[in-house]
């Protein structure tokens, strides 16, 4: 069984060649995924559907983890997520918080600037 640190790193790497089923399999059935500027997603099916919807706009995300610390079942990282799609890349500075139980992620909170996402989706000038 992977350590919490390894599990989070593996999940982050999986976004570079994304498959919604493969990515959502990292999460517990009742996991919470919360991009803090947005409403939380609760449950593996909701997380899977969000990922599938996200991939209609972007091809992939490359997670560049700058620092990651783990203490027991808690993992925190700072990273730059580079969103790839429509012939462009959008770097997004992120701080992530994860809780792990066994071999699944039970909680994932990401903190980032929503204005960067809006620009990436063409919602702001």
Tens digit of each residue's pLDDT (9 = 90 or more) over 35-59: 998 999 999 999 999 999 989 888 9
Residue 35 lies in a domain: yes
| pLDDT over 70 at 124, yes or no | no
- pLDDT of 115 reads 86
pLDDT bucket at 123, cuts 50 / 70 / 90: low
The CATH number of whichever domain residue 36 belongs to comes to 3.10.450.50
Number of domains in the chain: 1
Question: 115 CB contacts (<8 Å, ≥6 apart)?
Answer: 124
Residue 124 lies in a domain: no
Q: pTM value?
A: 0.92
Nearest to 2 by CA among 32, 26, 23, 21: 26
Residue 123 lies in a domain: no
pLDDT bucket at 85, cuts 50 / 70 / 90: confident
Q: What 3-state class would DSSP assign to 26?
A: coil
């Amino acid at each position: 069984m992977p350590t919490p640190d390894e599990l989070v790193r593996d999940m982050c790497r999986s976004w570079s060649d994304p498959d919604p089923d493969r990515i959502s399999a990292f999460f517990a059935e009742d996991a919470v995924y919360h991009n803090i500027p947005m409403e939380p997603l609760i449950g593996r099916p909701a997380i899977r559907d969000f990922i599938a919807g996200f991939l209609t706009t972007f091809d992939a995300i490359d997670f560049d983890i700058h620092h990651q610390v783990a203490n027991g079942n808690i993992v925190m990282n700072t990273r730059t997520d580079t969103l790839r799609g429509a012939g462009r890349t959008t770097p997004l500075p992120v701080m992530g918080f994860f809780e792990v139980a066994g071999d699944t992620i039970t909680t994932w909170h990401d903190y980032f600037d929503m204005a960067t996402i809006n620009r990436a989706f063409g919602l702001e000038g």
